[in-house]
């Protein structure tokens, strides 16, 4: 009877129940604290009978371990951080779910941190807040402009993995996807549909992923031996090009007629293009092939389905956690992980035969040359 009666620190009206500790279990089971600890941590060197007895008593007393005490003792918090970009975006949910699920499967919790929008606040977060966080590692979705090196988390010992980064930040392991190859594939599919005047729109070289997708477009043209036509490329600083710009792209006659296909760098842009196409009397999938990138569920409803490239955000989230834990457990290695995109063929790229073979579109505006 070494334990004194502790008063409840919660609100007065709450019953004065004090926490069950391993000491309580030890006393009730007639063993010592370390033995209880060994049982609870699934360690082998315990007699089966003792084990059963302890587990029984623990369940009976409703024992709940104290995360704080464990963290203090072990130095690990059993938690990961997830750094989110300042601007919310629907796809982030998938990242959050992927990271959380993989973490949960490995008995880890996930803390989320939306980054402030202002640069100074970002710096403060990285230098002041980050090191104090009760996390063992960090999965970071950073704006391309933000630099963060390992040393930025000096004393917490936290390790870091960058999400969707292509080696922009030297020394930081990252998880990426096949932005470039994904667009290359989609161009190939359009070519199989008989498209020859394939346009591209979206993003600028500032955005690393947009640049990669643009290069995939160039790859695709090259694969098919198609010429590069500047008027068929619309790259804009805005998230989504203006209606006027899109209209100009869709009606650019040089050199051999208007585009018979438009590859958008992400689904929202494809949505906008589809809208303008409707205005022009062009129905995506019938008169014009149209593709997106990301495979956002929100746009699935349009055009009887938008053909797009699935970006595996959820799987990338999972991969980030695996990579991070690998680093935490075995130290930093050559690291990095690539999760492949895949083509999702729906209706907006044109008709298909019963066996899935792409068929040509029947564009009323098409000038066969």
In the complex, the residues that contact DNA under the rule CB under 7 A are 3-4, 6, 18-19, 21-23, 30-38, 40-41, 44-47, 49-51, 63, 65-66, 69-70, 72-74
Nearer Cβ to DNA, position 7 or 368? 7
Q: Give the span between the Cα atoms of 289 and 261, in whole angstroms.
A: 4
Q: Which residue, 304, 303, 262, 288, is CA-closest to 350?
A: 288
Nearer Cβ to DNA, position 155 or 354? 155
> What are the backbone angles phi and psi of residue 277, rounded to the nearest 5°?
-60, -45
Picked from a copy of itself, DNA, none, the partner binding residue 157 (CB below 5 to 8 A depending on kind) is a copy of itself
Q: Give the span between the Cα atoms of 230 and 212, in whole angstroms.
A: 18
What is the DSSP secondary structure assignment for residue 265, as one 8-state letter?
A: S
With CB under 8 A as the contact rule, which of the stretches 88-96, 166-174, 198-206, 210-218 interacts with a copy of itself? 88-96
Q: Are 317 and 83 in contact (CB under 8 A)?
A: no
Site string for a copy of itself, 109-148 (x = CB under 8 A): xxxxxx----------------xxxx--------------
Picked from DNA, a copy of itself, none, the partner binding residue 4 (CB below 5 to 8 A depending on kind) is DNA
Picked from a copy of itself, DNA, none, the partner binding residue 94 (CB below 5 to 8 A depending on kind) is a copy of itself
Q: Are 259 and 198 in contact (CB under 8 A)?
A: yes
Q: Does 89 bind a copy of itself (CB under 8 A)?
A: yes
- Three-class SS of residue 140? strand
Binding residues for a copy of itself restricted to 209-248, rule: CB under 8 A: 240
Strand partners, 290: 262
Q: Does 100 bind a copy of itself (CB under 8 A)?
A: yes
Nearer Cβ to a copy of itself, position 221 or 316? 316
Picked from DNA, a copy of itself, none, the partner binding residue 110 (CB below 5 to 8 A depending on kind) is a copy of itself
Strand partners, 80: 110, 137
Q: Which residue, 199, 156, 207, 159, is CA-closest to 179?
A: 207
The pair of three-digit structure tokens given for residue 54, joined into one six-digit string: 């302890």
What is the signed CA dihedral for 314, 333, 108, 145, rounded to 10 degrees?
-60
Binding residues for a copy of itself restricted to 270-289, rule: CB under 8 A: 271-272, 275, 278
Q: Are 85 and 143 in contact (CB under 8 A)?
A: yes
Binding residues for a copy of itself restricted to 323-342, rule: CB under 8 A: 331
Q: Are 232 and 218 in contact (CB under 8 A)?
A: no
Q: Which of 2, 4, 9, 369 binds a copy of itself (CB under 8 A)?
A: 9
Q: Are 333 and 174 in contact (CB under 8 A)?
A: no
Q: Does 59 bind a copy of itself (CB under 8 A)?
A: no
Q: Give the span between the Cα atoms of 222 and 226, in whole angstroms.
A: 6
Q: Which of 1, 47, 49, 155 binds a copy of itself (CB under 8 A)?
A: 155
Which residues are near a copy of itself by CB under 8 A? Answer: 9-11, 13, 19-20, 62, 64-73, 75, 77-79, 82, 84, 88-90, 92-94, 96-97, 100-101, 104, 109-114, 131-134, 154-157, 240, 268, 271-272, 275, 278, 296-299, 301-304, 331
């Amino acid at each position: 009877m070494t334990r004194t009666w502790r008063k409840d620190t919660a609100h007065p009206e709450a019953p004065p129940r004090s926490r069950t500790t391993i000491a309580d279990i030890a006393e009730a089971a007639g063993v010592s604290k370390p033995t209880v600890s060994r049982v609870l941590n699934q360690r082998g060197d315990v007699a089966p009978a003792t084990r059963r007895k302890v587990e029984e008593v623990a369940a009976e007393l409703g024992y709940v371990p104290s995360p704080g005490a464990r963290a203090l003792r072990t130095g690990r918090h059993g938690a990961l951080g997830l750094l989110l970009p300042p601007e919310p975006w629907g796809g982030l949910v998938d990242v959050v779910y992927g990271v959380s699920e993989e973490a949960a499967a490995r008995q880890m919790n996930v803390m989320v941190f939306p980054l402030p929008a202002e640069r100074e606040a970002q710096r403060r977060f990285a230098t002041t807040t980050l090191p104090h966080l009760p996390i063992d590692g960090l999965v970071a979705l950073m704006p391309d402009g933000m630099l963060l090196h390992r040393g930025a988390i000096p004393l917490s010992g936290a390790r870091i993995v960058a999400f969707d980064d292509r080696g922009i930040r030297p020394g930081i392991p990252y998880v990426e996807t096949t932005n470039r190859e994904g667009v290359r594939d989609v161009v190939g599919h359009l070519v199989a549909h008989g498209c020859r005047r394939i346009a591209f729109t979206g993003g600028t070289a500032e955005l690393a992923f947009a640049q990669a997708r643009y290069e995939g477009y160039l790859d695709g043209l090259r694969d098919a031996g198609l010429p590069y036509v500047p008027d068929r490329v619309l790259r804009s600083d805005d998230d989504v090009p203006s209606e006027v710009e899109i209209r100009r792209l869709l009606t650019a006659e040089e050199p051999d007629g208007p585009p018979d296909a438009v590859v958008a760098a992400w689904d929202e842009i494809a949505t906008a293009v589809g809208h303008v196409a409707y205005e022009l009397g062009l129905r995506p999938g019938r008169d014009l092939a149209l593709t997106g990138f990301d495979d956002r569920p929100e746009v699935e409803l349009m055009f009887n389905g938008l053909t797009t490239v699935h970006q595996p955000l959820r799987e990338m989230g999972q991969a980030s956690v695996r990579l991070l834990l690998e680093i935490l457990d075995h130290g930093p290695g050559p690291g990095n992980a690539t999760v492949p995109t895949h083509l999702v063929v729906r209706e907006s790229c044109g008709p298909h035969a019963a066996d899935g073979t792409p068929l040509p579109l029947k564009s009323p505006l098409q000038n066969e040359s």
